[in-house]
Amino acid sequence: MKTILPAEWHKQDCVQLTWPHEDTDWKDYLDEADNCFYNIAKEIVKREKLIIVCKNIERVKKITSDLDQSSIIYCQIENNDTWARDHGGITIFRDGIPTILNYTFNGWGLKFSANYDNQITRKLFDVGFFKKGVKIEYHKDFVLEGGSIESDGEGTILTTSRCLMSYNRNEHLDKKEIEERLKKDLGAERIIFLEHGYLEGDDTDSHIDTLARFCGVDTICYVKCDDTNDPHYYELSMMEEELKRLKDKNGNYYNLVPLPMVDPVYHRDERLPATYANFLIINDAVLVPTYNCSKDVVALEIFKDIFKDREVVGVDCSVLIRQHGSLHCVTMQFPKGVL
């Protein structure tokens, strides 16, 4: 059986957003969060369908009323929080048949409540969101978040040991067993574990989508720290050395593109894990998080050089990072074939 985990640049049917509400951690600045989600939604519906999971459809419809409603599917489902990347279904193709993998999401190792979020993918399937013929597989015996894996679409998965080997996820499995599980479930031929790299304030235990990302089968962009006085310098420099040693499946070194370190962003005296690596690839565009930072313009120009065939759009994610996540974290794409 041939199994493929598509790369993010694979043609997409839609993107999922799970909308914030008054009972989430966004309550103290809900209007700002609504505005950020609106700006992300606006860019998505220009190019593909958008599914909005929300606690209250009428409330969210008012916020998004001026967007193309024919491109939006609203699903009223209770949610703890808004990180669709990690509670969302992961789409693979088994012998060409789209299959949604529904893993356990446990709030990044039991750090936060996730009882409602963990049910969202099943409920989407139950209400008939996916077209006839799309299958769902339940993998409740394994904890896996979408932000912890990167696929090149050709059998290589990039991840981090710090996340997949962390407590309260899959500690009953050793590294080799986790590798075999990913190969079996995702059809991977190679699992590359990075041993270094972290961001202060990160709740995810070093999700790969905050550190290093595939931009093509032969290209990886990554966060680089040049300031020797920055507490990230050692770990990110060691990660860079790891990346320099990596080769693609054809035995060639990857084309590595460094992304600037975001100027330190703080909220209530806490440094936040702001990163430009948390971008989202959609049909014909790349949405890049910005933070009202001096490096924003530099980062956008780098992405324009990487993705010459796509429009690069900056989205202010200053409010998202207050909850320790960013643009990629609040979205989950579904490849063509699920709707």
Domain coordinates in residue numbering, the chain: 3-335
Residue whose pair of structure tokens reads 């990230």 in the numeric block = 232
Q: What is the mean pLDDT of residues 51-69?
A: 98
For the chain, the straight-line distance linking the first and the last C-alpha, in angstroms and rounded, comes to 23
Q: What is the mean pLDDT of residues 76-94?
A: 98
Percent residues over pLDDT 90 in the chain: 100
pLDDT at residue 1 is higher than 90? no
pLDDT given for residue 81 in this prediction: 97
Place 60 in a pLDDT band, splitting at 50, 70 and 90.
very high
Give the pLDDT confidence of 33-49 residue by residue, as tens digits: 999 999 999 999 999 99
Note the CATH number of domain 3-335.
Answer: 3.75.10.10
Q: In what order do the strands lie in the sheet with 49-54?
A: 72-76, 49-54, 12-18, 331-335
Report the mean per-residue pLDDT for the chain. Answer: 97
Give the pLDDT confidence of 20-37 residue by residue, as tens digits: 999 999 999 999 999 999
Q: What is the mean pLDDT of residues 64-87?
A: 98
Place 58 in a pLDDT band, splitting at 50, 70 and 90.
very high
Q: What is the mean pLDDT of residues 85-104?
A: 98
pLDDT at residue 209 is higher than 90? yes
Query: Coil, strand or helix: which one is 152?
Result: coil
pLDDT at residue 174 is higher than 90? yes
Q: What is the mean pLDDT of residues 88-104?
A: 98
pLDDT given for residue 188 in this prediction: 97
Q: Return the amino acid letter for 140.
A: K
Give the pLDDT confidence of 222-278 residue by residue, as tens digits: 999 999 999 999 999 999 999 999 999 999 999 999 999 999 999 999 999 999 999
Q: Return the amino acid letter for 121.
A: T
Q: What b/e string do you get for 195-228 counting C-beta neighbours within 10 Å, with b at 16 or more? A: ebbbbebbebbbbbbbbbbbbebebbbbbbbeee
Taking the C-alpha atoms of residue 71 and residue 47, their distance in angstroms, rounded to an integer, is 9
Taking the C-alpha atoms of residue 155 and residue 135, their distance in angstroms, rounded to an integer, is 21
Q: Where are the beta strands (DSSP E) in the chain?
A: 3-4, 12-18, 49-54, 72-76, 90-94, 97-104, 135-143, 150-151, 156-160, 190-194, 212-216, 219-224, 255-260, 266-267, 270-271, 280-282, 285-290, 311-316, 331-335
Q: What is the mean pLDDT of residues 140-163?
A: 98
Beta bridge partners of 216: 219
Provide φ and ψ at 177, rounded to 5°: -70, -40
Report if pTM > 0.95. Answer: yes
